Amino acid sequence: MRITILQLFLHLLLLFGLSPLLSGVIGKTKALFAGRVGPPFLQLYFDIWKLFGKGLVISRTTTWIFRAGPVVGLAVPVLAALLIPFGPVGAPISFSGDLIFFVYLFGLSRFFTACAALDTGSSFEGMGAVREVTFSCLAEPTVFFVFIVLARLSGSFSLDAMFGPTLAASWHTAAPSLLLILVCLFIVTLVENCRIPFDDPNTHLELTMIHEVMVLDHSGPDLGMILYGAAMKFLVLGALVVRLFLPVTTGNIALDILLFIGGLLFMAVVIGVIESVMARLRLLRIPQLLVGVSLLSFFSLILLLR
């Protein structure tokens, strides 16, 4: 029982402490590529701190849904993080079939974010909500195919076991399938976290933004919660990618956790490099690419079942 509490503590510490740092690493990498100094690594911590100290402006046309969006957006990644192992630290909560719960937790948060955007009555925010929902509905099959492949390999329906110790052995038997789903999961991470080439988190151009447009009306602590929630979501999905990429365990828990953190930072650097060398895709090309990725993950399943 004590181990479970320790696990829970470690999980939440990693989640709350580390998540804003990743965005700082991405920012620094991009700045390095552009020849700038860039914002400090801890910029997002400062931003969130500042926003939580600010006042709140709420439009008169909105209802309670508008306030619920950010709260759900913050609560969902915390819940989802408890279902997955962070590197060597096993998941605190785990039951058979939690992979479906995991996927639809994010569906819930998306639903509330989109509803909060629609609640403002701004057609502009409605457009963003439409785009967000379209893209994530195209990305969802990929997640399921990835999970089915892992479930098949591990013979279990809980995320803790799927990303557990059997993963290292699976790399020897089914390397091609795992390589394909690693790529697929990485692309899903990019889509879900609104990174280039799917969405540009820095843009404020009305025709191109997707996620950013939905949160335009939020201010103060609400915006802080959204930013914190987005950072955590990035960490949660990133943790799956890192675990898939680095399934090794050395046995020494401190070393393993350092390895996991190193993997996450490395992934942030990779994303920073991708964002520096690639342009945003045209909006019409995105669904095409997402369908392609779903088909790729489907193919990796076929490869495994053969």
Partner 1 sequence: MDTLLHLLLLLVILLNFFLLGSSRLASCIRTTAFQGGILSLLPLLAHGFSGHTLFLASVAFLLKGIAIPYLLFRAIRQVHIRREVEPLIGYVPTLILGTLATAGAFIFSGRLPLIPEHSQSLFVPVGLATLATGFLMLISRRKAITQALGYLIFENGIFIFGMLLTEAMPLMVESGVLLDLLVGVFVMTILMHQINREFSTMNTDNLTSLKE
Residues that bind partner 1 (CB under 8 A): 175-176, 287-288, 291-292, 295-296, 298-299, 302-303, 306
**In terms of CB distance, is 60 or 306 closer to partner 1?**
306
Question: Shortest Cβ distance from residue 296 to partner 1 (Å)?
Answer: 7
**In terms of CB distance, is 79 or 281 closer to partner 1?**
281
**In terms of CB distance, is 121 or 292 closer to partner 1?**
292
Distance in angstroms (rounded) separating the CA atoms of residues 236 and 77: 7
Helix (H/G/I), strand (E/B), else coil: 255:
helix
**In terms of CB distance, is 13 or 175 closer to partner 1?**
175
**In terms of CB distance, is 2 or 172 closer to partner 1?**
172
Question: Shortest Cβ distance from residue 152 to partner 1 (Å)?
Answer: 15
Contact 78, 234 (CB under 8 A): no
Q: Which pair of tokens denotes residue 274?
A: 């991708």
Q: Which pair of tokens denotes residue 44?
A: 């997002």
DSSP run (H or E) holding 38: none
Distance in angstroms (rounded) separating the CA atoms of residues 189 and 168: 22
What count of other Cβ atoms lies within 10 Å of the Cβ of residue 59? Answer: 11
Question: Shortest Cβ distance from residue 284 to partner 1 (Å)?
Answer: 11
Q: What is the DSSP letter of 282?
A: P
**In terms of CB distance, is 41 or 299 closer to partner 1?**
299
Q: Which pair of tokens denotes residue 259?
A: 């390895």
How far are the Cα atoms of 28, 52, 86, 239 from residue 14, in angstroms, in the given order? 21, 21, 8, 11
Question: Shortest Cβ distance from residue 117 to partner 1 (Å)?
Answer: 27
Which residues, 6+ apart, have CB-to-CB distance to 231 below 8 Å? 19, 20, 22, 23, 44
